[in-house]
Amino acid sequence: MKVLLINGSPRANGCTFTALTEITKILNAEGVQTEILQSGNKPVRDCIGCGGCKGKGKCVFGDDCVNEWIEKAYSADAFVFGTPVYYAHPTGRILSVLDRLFYAGGQAFEHKPAAVIASARRAGTTASVDVLYKYLGIKQMPIVTSSYWNAVHGNSPEEIYNDAEGMQTMHNIATNMAWLLKCIEAGKNSGICAPQNTVSVRTNFIR
């Protein structure tokens, strides 16, 4: 079992990374492999809705991390998406990445568990988490929650470690994720597979 953790912060070793690292510690102790993917601080293209990815399973823009991450997503069993809070919302960076990941490589995510987390100095975490939840919902991904809202608070990695409740929240996300993955694995071993959905129907509301 392997979990991919995507850091939507331009800071490779900042607060969001610190929170994700705490999740990996518990997952690893539970026998789950992990890999943190850094979005970095280089430019990331927005999705332009060109439809060029249709039927290809990859984005037509191949000059950043997106297509590489789609390939990794196919072999992953679960995901954690992390973002710092900018003006009470997720970073534009992670939204650009997720728009393209889910548009071009959506099949790699379907029916796989996922969690989202946010880090902030003070406010905006729940609003940011709510935005990221939308990606999981549209791909029918079981959402992994915790004992409180999936967030940590602090203005530096050192302050994040001093957020005792935030650290507990990260640990419980990991524990719940490991439990759910083991349940899914046991189900597969018993012949229970993910549901096969009907062909997608898309409508509009103007006639």
Determine the average pLDDT of the residues in 97-104: 96
Tokens of 117: 């987390």
What does the pLDDT look like over 21-43, one tens digit per residue?
999 999 999 999 999 999 988 88
Average pLDDT of every residue of the chain: 95
Average pLDDT on 77-105 reads 97
Confidence of residue 46 (pLDDT cuts 50, 70, 90): very high
**173-190 average pLDDT score:** 97
HSE (CB half, 13 Å, CA atoms) of 170?
28
The predicted pLDDT at position 155 comes to 95
Q: CA 40, 171, 121: angle at the middle one, nearest 5?
A: 55
d(CA 67, CA 57): 9
pLDDT at residue 199 greater than cutoff 80: no
User: What pLDDT score does 196 carry?
Assistant: 86
pLDDT digits (tens, 9 = 90+) for 6-15: 999 999 999 9
> What is the pLDDT averaged over residues 156-164?
97
- pLDDT given at position 207: 62
User: What share of the chain in percent tops pLDDT 90?
Assistant: 87
> Lowest mean pLDDT: which of 70-74, 143-147, 189-193, 198-202?
198-202
Give the model's pLDDT for residue 203. Answer: 85
- Could you read off the pLDDT of 107-151 as tens digits, one per residue? 999 999 999 999 999 999 999 999 999 999 999 999 999 999 999
Residue 106 scores a pLDDT above 90: yes
Can you give the pLDDT at residue 204?
A: 83
| pLDDT, mean of residues 174-202 | 92
Mean pLDDT of 65-69: 95
- Degrees to nearest 5, angle at CA 47 with 124 and 66: 85
